[in-house]
Structure 1
Amino acid sequence: MLYLDNADVQRVLEPRRMTDRLERTYRRFAQGGGVTPPRLDVQLPGPGPDQGYQLGLAVGADAGTNDQRPYAALRVKSDRVERESGPRGLRKRKWAGQPGRYLGLVLLFDPRDGRLLCVMQDGWLQRMRVGCDSALGVRLLARPDAEILAILGSGGMAESHVLAIRHERPLRQIRVFSPTPAHCADFATRMRNETGIETLACASPEEAARGADLLCSCTNSAEPVVDVSLLAKGMHITAIGGGLTNEAVALVDYALRFGTATAPLGFDDWKHDEESMVYSNAPTRLAFGGTAQFAHFTEGVERTLVECGSHTMRRDAEQITFSQRGNIHGIQFAAAAGEVYEAALRAGAGMEWSKPADGFLQDIRN
């Protein structure tokens, strides 16, 4: 059994290969080649009204093909979560153990014999599976000549978007806005040095979005941040933190959802569009618990990956388009962790666990 820490994952993960893997897995899942429930969030409130605990679970299994082995995955994330008010609205703050530390693990299993193949830290994997999700949306929906990327936010998710999207379009310029100017400037310098692409720190979201072909909202906002002032004809949008206002949603011509979670057996008419299902001993969903959905579209605007086929969904250069994964986190982690595991085996990365022997196998029936 293999153990991979974030440094191992970062060393072997190739964004373009990850985007390819996600696309193949999503298309197979849409044809019945996998199974996943929505993400499950288990919440405990308190002690204050804007504080609490959340155990996040994502589980899924990819059936594989003759050329690609099957995998099942369980991602576990343990967070103390707080909601803070700032100059630009509400923000979510997460930690485990102490502020600035986090706990998340992915367990990868072989469905053919039930063995635990790998345990990996989820930090870098988490960032890149989201960045590559957005890159897949760019691949399928952005204009072929898209060359200016605007990013709202300057944290880890913003970085993963740059690293993934640059492989899908020939970026000439990146523009970033963050409400913390020093952090924004540092991010711009790092991305410029790492990618060789001109990267500008902007003083406002409007400045970042003006003239952009691609707009990615990567903030930790608990409220929508993409409004109509940021949109322009021909733009492609993604949002993984800070969604779209209702007015902005109304301007989207074409939206793509990569998939919808599997219905439980015996509940054929069951449908759950939101990102997660929440279980709590509080009377309602705790407000800090995560985004229910980044944008709600009317029927006919949002299409599925099956409807998209193998070609772009964009019909003309002026359409405003949007893409999002949907609530298929589990199948995504099976694909992403499987890709990293195979890359680690090729590179000889990670640490083999000799104890416990046989990857936690035991002789007492569970």
Structure 2
Amino acid sequence: MSDTLFLTSEDVSGLASPEEYVEAVREGYRQRGEGAPAEPRTKLPNAEPPGMLTGYSAILPETGAMGGYMYASGFGAKDAWFVTPVFDAESGEPIALLDGASMNPFKTGATGAVGTDALAREDADTLGIVGSGSQARGQLRAIAAVRDLDTVRVYSPTKASRESFAAEMNEQLDASVAAVASSAAAIDDAGIVVTATTASDPVFDGEMLADGAHVTAMGQYHPEKRELDATTIERSTYVPDLRERVSQDAGSFIAAVEAGVVSEDHVHAELGEVVAGAAPGRETDEEVTVFDSGGTAIETVAAAHMLYEKAREEGLGSEISFAPASEALTGK
């Protein structure tokens, strides 16, 4: 039998700081850049009741962990459940099982911050955000850990939502956070732009991006939906989290290819290759960079293993037991 630590959403919530998430995720992507295996998500749709079963996995050999997400969304309850198994990369034994929903905005935000740190100008201190939900909050908190932000402007279609976001983040950050009335106002002269929406169509005009801007797009991973227009992709040094994912569900890039403004060769490098130093990141102050963050098991495993280690140190969680197949199948 193998004793496995089970961590509830309450155990995980508040267990680690944005800085700790960023460092864990950066290390995971460095290992990916040096050859660690990772696969893009697989999605199994269900017609009635409408829903989706999704999963993805990765192995981080130097961390000593492997695993990923499996989550169900929609179906009869019209909700989502995130299950995160973590295995020991040496023995293969399960070491942790997490209720993964609480860490989602933090590990996804950390991924955006790693992309920002690798690709944005070092002096970028103005951030424009399109979106005001939990993922936008996660992105802002994490990016504030890698850049000294002075001004943050947020836009979302619902005035009350963007104003609530600005009020909350003003209390948490040193930067001045203001709600604005349009996406154009949010991205105006911004050195960093984040899109964290459920939009199916582009949320700003790429011609309006300042020279030298960095864009992290993380709200869409569907071949027919896109947050960024073809102009943004055409102008950019384009970096995805996984190269294999691009033709599968990077809708903004797919649309730009279909429009004929770029080819598949426009993919500059994976984020891990830039983090590991195997490919250059930003090379000039004037270039526009894009990090297309659709979500991978790299950040999931990295963050989950970090939380597992912190939980053990703090005595959190409860133990459950798994029987190895050799025992379960033979009864010995």
| Residues 23 and 106 of structure 1: CA distance in aligned 2, closer, same or farther (over 3 Å) | same
Deviations along 1:270-295, one digit per CA (max 9) or x if unpaired, are xx6345xxxxxxxxxxxxxxx54443
TM-score (norm 2): 0.85
C-alpha separation between the residues in 1 aligned to 2:301 and 2:247?
20
C-alpha separation between the residues in 2 aligned to 1:312 and 1:200?
34
Amino acid at match of 2:21: M
C-alpha separation between the residues in 2 aligned to 1:198 and 1:344?
34
Deviations along 1:21-63, one digit per CA (max 9) or x if unpaired, are 222222222322x32222110112246xxxx210001122221
How far apart are residue 110 of structure 1 and its match?
1.5
1:107 aligns with 2:85: yes
Equivalent position of 1:259 in the other structure:
242
Q: CA RMSD in A?
A: 2.4
Report SS of the residue matched to 1:105.
Answer: strand
Q: What are the within-5 Å matches in structure 2 for residues 1-366 of structure 1?
A: 1-32=4-35, 34-46=36-48, 52-64=50-62, 68=63, 70-80=64-74, 98-99=77-78, 101-241=79-219, 242-252=226-236, 254-260=237-243, 273-274=246-247, 291-296=249-254, 298=263, 299-300=265-266, 302-304=268-270, 305-306=272-273, 310=277, 313-325=281-293, 329-349=296-316, 351-353=317-319, 356=320, 358-359=321-322, 363-365=327-329
| Residues 343 and 321 of structure 1: CA distance in aligned 2, closer, same or farther (over 3 Å) | same
Amino acid at match of 1:61: I
Deviations along 1:75-96, one digit per CA (max 9) or x if unpaired, are 111111xxxxxxxxxxxxxxx6
C-alpha separation between the residues in 1 aligned to 2:309 and 2:40?
26
C-alpha separation between the residues in 2 aligned to 1:308 and 1:120?
27
Deviations along 1:204-262, one digit per CA (max 9) or x if unpaired, are 1011111211100000112332322541111100111152111221121x22234345x
Contact 1:243 1:295 in 2 (8 A): no
Amino acid at match of 1:341: Y
Identity %: 24
Stretches of structure 1 that go unaligned for 5 or more consecutive residues are 81-95, 262-271, 276-290
C-alpha separation between the residues in 2 aligned to 1:110 and 1:348?
19
C-alpha separation between the residues in 1 aligned to 2:207 and 2:273?
32
TM-score (norm 1): 0.77
How many residues are paired up? Answer: 310
| Residues 260 and 314 of structure 1: CA distance in aligned 2, closer, same or farther (over 3 Å) | closer
C-alpha separation between the residues in 2 aligned to 1:160 and 1:145?
21
| Residues 248 and 29 of structure 1: CA distance in aligned 2, closer, same or farther (over 3 Å) | closer
Report SS of the residue matched to 1:303.
Answer: coil
Contact 1:22 1:133 in 2 (8 A): yes
Deviations along 1:84-143, one digit per CA (max 9) or x if unpaired, are xxxxxxxxxxxx6645x4311111112333322222122222211211111011111111
